[in-house]
Amino acid sequence: MTPTSSAYKKTILCIGAGYVGGPTMAMIAAKCPDYRVVVVDLNPDRIAAWQSGEPPIFEPGLAELVRQSLGRNLEFSTDVPAGIAIADIIFVCVGTPTKTFGKGAGMAADLQYLENTARTILEHSSSNTIVVEKSTLPVRTAEAMERILNGQKEDVHFEVLSNPEFLAEGTAIRDLENPDRILIGGHPTPSGQAALQTLVDLYANWVPAEKIITTNLWSSELSKLAANAFLAQRISSINSISALCEATEADVDEVGRAIGLDSRIGPKFLRASVGFGGSCFQKDILNLVYLCEHFGLPEVADYWRSVVSMNDYQRERFVARMLSSMFNTVVNKRIAIFGFAFKADTGDTRESAAIYVCRQLADERAALVVTDPEAIPNAKVDLADLGDRIAYDEDPYAAAEGAHAIAVMTEWSLYRELDYERIYASMQKPAFIFDGRNLLDHEALHRIGFNVYPIGSSPLTHM
Ligand code: UDX
Ligand code: UDX
């Protein structure tokens, strides 16, 4: 890695070239041509893909954005020490998965990658450096970072800031370009405030000043967990109402529209579904629950835990409804799974409801065929142990051929545009559609001959 020339204002390093680090740095590089942006990761395949201009993740508009700055002020490398040595500002974007072992297993964040990263930074830095937490972390993690970093090297001071990322997958580029807010937390000390200002100046290259807010470190760390918990809570709330709708002939989409028009409630995140997925919601809520328990607040912990329990229930309820409507058995019945990604416009399948639904259906000995325009490679990894109980086909028509049922798991718009007359003709009868996203035109499908089971409203059947 070449030393930074004086043509650049500052050198930014990002450690972790995943869904958060890669797109965020591509945006910074594009908007701030006078900053040098270096992204490092331990995974050489990922780095090679980024550096070739073909990002290893699917995100609309991302490849174009990366190519705009590659070779100008954006580069990707596996040389973590060299990157640290030249950096003025280091963004830490390594993963913080849920712990799978020991104390807090299944709940607490696994901070080993973060700690390793802090120790690597300490080893290779030789001048004052701002270290920015981008990964979502438990409250007061910055304190641990500072303890590791500071007091070890004379003449080198590390200032830790929290700057959580709120981008959503599928809309990452739009979210980064036009964020609702940029949140930066730092210490009230003179060096803390100076570091805050450095980051404010960076974002001010494209984000209006009134959208850049600064807080203390702990508020910033907690705001990220709280924002995800509130968003997930809205989905669990509307999903809980969907169960009641199915029991009472109310329609959850109508209820959602009616309550969303109250300006205090607002219309977003009120779409009932088979359950939320993604790398963040469940992980962050469980992390919040663990923190509450740690701080002796069991009632608060229980409150937030119920958001996750409701999500589990929604997925189980979906499969139970499939079973009961298909005459209480799906043994050897071909079922087409439309969509495997945790939401549309991404190939990401982490915590996707489809994983749980497929596993439960496989336990019932169904014969599954998964179709998805982007997520089949990840689906194959997620369901590797199911062997020949499961097949994959990129073509939704081929997936549905000979099937007893279609289960819509992801709201890909392409599924709305399919020729369902043709699909119906190729399926076993009676043919079922379970729309886990309320994506399709249920009346039209019913007219074709399907037995249609939406989320949160009465089924439209011919039986
Ligand atoms: C992850 C977390 O899931 C999220 O909570 C956090 O806010 C940011 O980091 P994401 O970017 O989606 O989000 O994760 P992932 O795609 O797994 O990327 C993390 C990258 O860090 C991987 O490419 C991994 O190879 C890299 N990494 C991990 C390192 O470079 N060094 C490490 O020590 C560990
Ligand atoms: C989320 C947050 O939105 C983002 O701010 C944070 O940085 C990371 O976590 P993401 O997980 O990428 O982003 O996607 P999001 O759009 O929030 O969707 C999460 C899940 O909720 C998806 O499975 C989605 O399908 C589901 N969802 C969303 C619903 O079921 N109903 C809704 O009304 C909205």
Average pLDDT over residues 146-150: 93
Contact predicate 426/451, CB 8 Å: no
Give the residue whose CA is nearest to atom 7 of ligand 2.
166
Contact predicate 383/355, CB 8 Å: yes
CA 318 to chain centre: 22
Query: Ligand 2 pocket: which of 176, 279, 342, 343 to mutate (most atoms <8 Å of CB)?
Result: 343
Give backbone dihedrals phi and psi of 303, rounded to 5 degrees, phi first. -55, -50
* CA nearest neighbour of 271 among 59, 456, 131: 456
The kind and range of the H/E element at 118 are: helix 112-124
* CA nearest neighbour of 442 among 427, 430, 426, 455: 455
Q: Can you give the pTM of this predicted structure?
A: 0.94
Atom of ligand 2 at shortest distance to CA of 271?
33
Query: Average per-residue pLDDT in the chain?
Result: 96
The beta strands (E) that lie in 381-454 are given as 390-392, 405-408, 432-435, 451-454
* CA nearest neighbour of 47 among 72, 83, 11, 10: 83
* CA nearest neighbour of 335 among 271, 415, 273, 390: 390
Ligand sitting nearest the alpha carbon of 45? 1
Distance CA 196, CA 184 (A): 7
Atom of ligand 2 at shortest distance to CA of 227?
5
Name the residues annotated as catalytic: 280
Atom of ligand 1 at shortest distance to CA of 21?
11
181 C-alpha vs ligand 1 centroid, how far in Å?
Answer: 22
Q: For ligand 1, say whether the CB of 129 is within 6 Å of any of its atoms.
A: no
133 C-alpha vs ligand 1 centroid, how far in Å?
Answer: 12
Ligand sitting nearest the alpha carbon of 281? 2
Average pLDDT over residues 22-46: 98
Instruction: Please report, as a single letter, which amino acid is at residue 63.
Output: A
Model confidence at 362, pLDDT cuts 50, 70, 90, reads very high
CA 107 to chain centre: 17
Model confidence at 462, pLDDT cuts 50, 70, 90, reads very high
Average pLDDT over residues 152-156: 88
Query: Ligand 2 pocket: which of 24, 134, 225, 235 to mutate (most atoms <8 Å of CB)?
Result: 235
User: What are the structure tokens assigned to 52, written together?
Assistant: 């070739």
170 C-alpha vs ligand 2 centroid, how far in Å?
Answer: 10
Q: For ligand 2, say whether the CB of 163 is within 6 Å of any of its atoms.
A: no
Model pLDDT, residue 124:
97
Ligand sitting nearest the alpha carbon of 46? 1
* CA nearest neighbour of 338 among 206, 271, 231, 427: 427
Contact predicate 368/361, CB 8 Å: yes
Beta partners for residue 444, in sequence order? none
Give the residue whose CA is nearest to atom 9 of ligand 2.
280
Average pLDDT over residues 15-35: 97
Model confidence at 238, pLDDT cuts 50, 70, 90, reads very high
User: Residue 113, exposed/middle/buried by CB under 10 A (0-12, 13-18, 19+)?
Assistant: middle
Query: Ligand 1 pocket: which of 20, 92, 348 to mutate (most atoms <8 Å of CB)?
Result: 20
Average pLDDT over residues 159-183: 97
pLDDT at 2 over 90: no
Model pLDDT, residue 257:
98
95 C-alpha vs ligand 2 centroid, how far in Å?
Answer: 18
Ligand sitting nearest the alpha carbon of 221? 1
Give long-range contacts, CB 8 A cutoff, 24+ apart: 316-323.
316/360, 317/243, 318/274, 318/275, 318/353, 318/357, 318/407, 318/434, 318/436, 318/455, 319/357, 319/360, 319/361, 319/364, 321/246, 321/434, 321/453, 322/361, 322/405, 322/407, 322/432, 322/434, 322/453, 323/364
Average pLDDT over residues 431-436: 98
Based on its alpha-carbon atoms, the radius of gyration of the chain, rounded to whole angstroms, reads 24
Give the residue whose CA is nearest to atom 33 of ligand 1.
113
Average pLDDT over residues 369-377: 97
